[in-house]
Amino acid sequence: MPTKLVLGLQHGDEGKGRVVDDIAEYWADVVVRFQGGGNAGHTVYDREGNKYVTHILPVGIVIKQSDNHISRRNITNIISRGCVLNVIDLYEEINSFKQKEITPNDLQISGYCPLIEPTHILLDRLKYQGKLGTTARGIGPAYSDFYARDSILFKDIVKNPEATLYKIQEKFFNFQTEIAQSNVDGDVINKNFSFFNEWTKNYREAIKCVSNFIMTDESLIIDLYEQGKNILLEGAQGCGLNIHSNNYPDVTSSAPTVGGALNSTGLNHNQIDEVIGVLKAYKTKVGTGNFPSECDEINGNILATIGNEYGATTGRDRRCGWLDLVALKKAIFTNSVTDLCITKLDVMDELKQIKVCVEYKNKEPLYKNFDGWLTSTEGITEYSQLPENAKKYIEFIENFTECNAAIISTGPSRDQTISK
Q: Which residues are catalytic?
A: 13, 42
* Per-residue DSSP letter, 417: E
Alpha carbon distance 183, 240 (integer Å) = 37
Report residue 74: phi and psi, to 5°. Answer: -65, 140
**Under 8 Å between Cβ of 370 and 378:** no
Strand-pair partners of 417? 409
Report residue 388: phi and psi, to 5°. Answer: -60, -40
Q: What angle do CA 247, 249, 250 make, to 5 degrees?
A: 65
Long-range CB contact pairs, 165-171, < 8 A, 24+: 165/200, 165/203, 165/204, 168/115, 168/117, 168/118, 168/119, 169/196, 169/200, 171/117, 171/119
Q: How many CB atoms lie within 10 A of CB 97?
A: 17
Q: How far is CA 362 from CA 115, 182, 357, 359, 369, in A?
A: 44, 43, 14, 10, 20
3-state class (DSSP) for residue 278? strand
Half-sphere exposure of 93 (CA within 13 A, CB side): 26
Alpha carbon distance 8, 338 (integer Å) = 13
Torsional sign, CA 353, 357, 360, 364: positive
Helix H, strand E, coil C: the string for 307-357 is: CCCECCCCCCECEEECEEHHHHHHHHHHCCCCEEEEECHHHHCCCCEEEEE
3-state class (DSSP) for residue 95? helix
Alpha carbon distance 385, 316 (integer Å) = 35
DSSP string, 106-126: TEEE-TTPBB--HHHHHHHHH
* Per-residue DSSP letter, 75: P
